[in-house]
Amino acid sequence: MNTTSTPLTKLYDQNNQLYGVLLSPEFWEEAKSVLMPLLEKRSATQEETPEPVKDWKMLLDYWDFQYPPDTRVECEHCGNVTEDWMNPEGKTFRLKAANLGGLVNFQCLNCSSRVIKRHFKDHYRFECHPYTPKKDKL
């Protein structure tokens, strides 16, 4: 590839302190498959991606189950329970996805388990998938 940019450019402030590293677009293309999972892992705990609350509201709009919606979530893995996952105070679950079929995905902020709230016609139940870090191929 014919490019004049170096893959890595270190950035220094006035005091010659390293404060960042710039990746060339070419290098970013190569590196992002490695870096993106790391970034996602960080954002999972740092709440950088907004919750898809719109999808949850949409499910509420089209609610046709035989019971009223509730906001209870429980993690079977660590025993984490909330009566209202939307309450920002003491938030212990993050909404990850919701769809009109009644599948609502949460992440337990205590143990990182994926908790699925699965709605059926006359009841719902929780499924808990404990978090397993993706292992690099050996």
Residues that bind Zn ion (CB under 5 A): 75, 77-78, 80, 108, 110-111, 113
Q: How far is the CB of 127 from Zn ion (least distance, A)?
A: 13
Nearer to Zn ion by Cβ, of 44 and 111: the residue is 111
Pick the closer one to Zn ion by CB: 114 or 119.
Answer: 114
CB 100 to Zn ion: min, Å:
26
In this complex, which beta carbon is closest to Zn ion, that of residue 63 or of residue 131? 131
CB closer to Zn ion, 103 vs 111: 111
Single out the residue of 3, 4, 2, 22 nearest to residue 12, CA to CA: 22
Strand partners, 20: 11
Smallest gap from residue 105 Cβ to Zn ion (A): 14
CB of 80 to Zn ion, least distance (A): 4
Both tokens assigned to 53: 């609350």
Measured distance CA(133)–CA(138) in Å, rounded: 14
